[in-house]
Structure 1
Amino acid sequence: MNTDASFEIFLVAPPGLESLLCAEALEKGFTGATVTPGGVTLTGGWPDVWRANLTLRGASRVLARIGSIRVMHLAQLDKRARKFPWADTLRPDVPIRVDVTCKASRIYHAGAATQRIETALKESLGATIAADAPLRLMARIEDDLCTFSLDTSGEPLHKRGHKEAVGKAPMRETLASLFLRQCGYTGDEPLVDPMCGSGTFVIEAAEIAKGLNPGRSRSFAFDQFASFDADLWQQMRRAAPPVTTTCHYYGSDRDTGAIRMSTANAERAGVGDITTFRHAAVSDLIRPEGPPGLVMVNPPYGTRIGEKKLLFAVYGALGKTLLERFSGWRVGMVTTDLGLAKASALPFAPPMAPVSHGGLRIHLLQTGALR
């Protein structure tokens, strides 16, 4: 198996947050990472693919672009797909599904193109095609060029493998980590989430502080590829011992069920020793002793949870508590509703462009150090 072969790797990011993911990739040593619409592109080999899945907190998926063929018509696609070196990457004993998109090409019928590629896989590799297969081959036919990509992640990367319990409107871990990065969070300061739900922001912050790899507890689609080297992968997983931190990370919520959830999730993630979750309304929020840090909060929006009218008082109480008790702390707030955010009376800078999340358009609002 040639682990040195180089190809294009595409890191999928939430639209609008590509530059944050690119900064993380460069920070983690992925040289040549560049922003492209919908994600980040870099060049590397299979070990880079594995390391990206293991270490990048903000990527939604990691795609490996394993090659391309020029195709003007379906007969040509049929012939050239049969000659493609599938066995370099795929195993005949692992079922696969095929997704095709066509754009600005003489081949415009995605269904017919899918059929040709599936037949090529069956007849040249001996592969089994299954609509529910965990492995996914994507073919994009654009300007008469068919590019083959493999989804190397499998389950979306926000599924870290630690969170068995989630709240009503959970923040995805990948998105939470990018918002933390946008707020300048690096792990060397305390964090408070006064509406912690299932604990996503607190747990992400604590994992960052400990230097824990986000993919350390889960499996990936790439371990079913012919190009997979199990020994090299195990070396990679063992390479990063946890870092000791003197900071602590706090969550509170008025829902006792949320506190049970977040406490259990933090224990599973291996950060129970540096996290504390407490049952409390926002008006009872206690400022931790020690240096100031970051308050990171994802309050209810009113679009899915609760009545919006009632939320103005909640945002108002949150803002009042932070302004009275959290001098020197910065605040990051995620919301769909700038009117609700305004009700907090917190001194937010102009919001960054909205980001799509679960069918909603959400804003990240930030303050400087509160006075």
Structure 2
Amino acid sequence: MTNDTPFEIFLATAPGLEPVLCDEVRHKGFNSPKPVPGGVVVKGRWPDVWRANLWVRGAGRVLARIASFRVVHLAQLDTLAHRVAWGSVLRRDVPFRVEASCAASRIWHSGAAAQRIATAIRDTLGAPETPDAAVTVMARIDHDVCTISVDTSGEALHRRGYKEAVNAAPLRETMASLFLRQCGFDGSEPVVDPMCGSGTFVIEAAEIAARLNPGRARHFAFEQLATFDEVAWQQMRAVKNRRTPEFRFHGSDRDAGAVAMSIANAERAGVTDLTSFRQATISELTPPDGPPGLVILNPPYGSRLGESQALTPLYRALGQTLKARFAGWRVGLLATENRLAHATALPFLPAGPPVPHGGLRVVLYRTGILP
């Protein structure tokens, strides 16, 4: 496999968000994106892999699919894995590890499958296998078809490289960017988050508006592959499209510690000049000066029945404040319970599918423009 050979690239996301990620990938200019369970598939070359890691906000990781074959027993897997051209992708001097999963296949032992593939790599390439290697080879055996991929991202892509401070059960940046997109946000309007936590929605919105690449401040596993071209990569990273929006992005929270976290994270992300954070309760919430835009928030859910009931007054107060003061704005609200969301009495549009988050399933509730 060379930089000129097209292959399948898989961009992973949370189940339920595949169409939203596909829309982003299409708008970023990737070739014929197709939503599939758990992500989006495109056809491309190695520079497209680098670009996907650097540019795409909603992908959790980017996998390069390097081989696929039918296999029904471990001896056959051993033979076919030895035929993969590992040296065209992996480096002899870079450690690797193998992860495998099996579903509806005659090979059902994922550990044994991973062991066979690791042995093939060691035999044919001589690269060292270590449990904490930065380069991960991933094998999925599904209905007797083995697909072998290389994780080109390394650390998950929601780790942008700036967020050192987080609160409990933080929303991942990748998911936040897709929820913003679902609400119709494209960077051309202000955003307000009245329960900002560690500032994720506000910082993502500011970066989108400023056209800052999400991967600009971190390294990737593909930099350790045989296909990597340092000169071409540095040229790609050097392209700057930053613009200065005409408005700011606002976060508030009743907790002073959350506000301090948000300010620190915005500074590390380089968007201090585009963001504003303050300590305030929902009853103190007012729209900023300037045009209307989007109010988006990830409020407390209440995982137990008693907690959920105790949160009803908070949701009711939120709805009353938004209806009274935010005419002309749209609202996006994450909730785990339909009852809590509708306690706001906001005019929600039909809800999308539930999305797994922190062991729960959250739904994005959206409104049109509030009267």
- Tell me by how many angstroms 1:40 deviates: 0.6
Q: Percent identity of the aligned residues?
A: 61
CA distance in structure 2 between the aligned counterparts of 1:73 and 1:245, rounded to whole angstroms: 58
State the partner residue of 1:122: 122
Q: Give TM-score scaled by structure 2 length.
A: 0.96
1:255 aligns with 2:255: yes
State the partner residue of 1:24: 24
2:113 partner amino acid: A
1:316 aligns with 2:316: yes
2:313 partner amino acid: A
2:101 partner amino acid: T
State the partner residue of 1:297: 297
Residue 370 of structure 2: SS of its match in structure 1?
Answer: coil
Residue range with higher mean Cα deviation, 234-243 or 247-256: 234-243
- Tell me by how many angstroms 1:72 deviates: 4.0
- Tell me by how many angstroms 1:93 deviates: 1.8
Q: Deviations over 1:292-341 (max 9, x none)?
A: 10000111111289933331121122111111111111111011122122
Residue range with higher mean Cα deviation, 262-271 or 310-319: 310-319
Q: Deviations over 1:253-297 (max 9, x none)?
A: 000011110011111111110100011001001211111100001
State the partner residue of 1:35: 35
CA distance in structure 2 between the aligned counterparts of 1:331 and 1:95, rounded to whole angstroms: 47
The answer to whether the 8 Å contact 1:300/1:306 transfers is no
Q: Deviations over 1:197-233 (max 9, x none)?
A: 0000000000000000101101111111111111111
Residue range with higher mean Cα deviation, 69-78 or 326-335: 69-78
List aligned pairs for 1:156-305, cutoff 5 A. Answer: 156-303=156-303
The answer to whether the 8 Å contact 2:2/2:88 transfers is no
Residue range with higher mean Cα deviation, 297-306 or 138-147: 297-306
1:369 aligns with 2:341: no
CA distance in structure 1 between the aligned counterparts of 2:186 and 2:196, rounded to whole angstroms: 19
State the partner residue of 1:85: 85
CA distance in structure 2 between the aligned counterparts of 1:29 and 1:239, rounded to whole angstroms: 16
Gaps of 5+ in 2: none
RMSD, matched Cα = 1.7
Residue range with higher mean Cα deviation, 348-357 or 200-209: 348-357
CA distance in structure 2 between the aligned counterparts of 1:75 and 1:308, rounded to whole angstroms: 54
CA distance in structure 2 between the aligned counterparts of 1:63 and 1:270, rounded to whole angstroms: 29
Residue 307 of structure 1: SS of its match in structure 2?
Answer: helix
Residue 41 of structure 1: SS of its match in structure 2?
Answer: strand
State the partner residue of 1:73: 73
Q: Deviations over 1:84-108 (max 9, x none)?
A: 2101110122211111223344433
CA distance in structure 1 between the aligned counterparts of 2:305 and 2:46, rounded to whole angstroms: 43
Residue 30 of structure 2: SS of its match in structure 1?
Answer: coil
Change in Cα spacing, 1:321 to 1:268, as seen in structure 2 (3 Å) is same
1:33 partner amino acid: P
Gaps of 5+ in 1: none
CA distance in structure 1 between the aligned counterparts of 2:45 and 2:71, rounded to whole angstroms: 26
Q: Give TM-score scaled by structure 1 length.
A: 0.96
State the partner residue of 1:11: 11
Residue range with higher mean Cα deviation, 21-30 or 109-118: 109-118
- Number of positions where the alignment pairs a residue of Structure 1 with one of Structure 2: 371
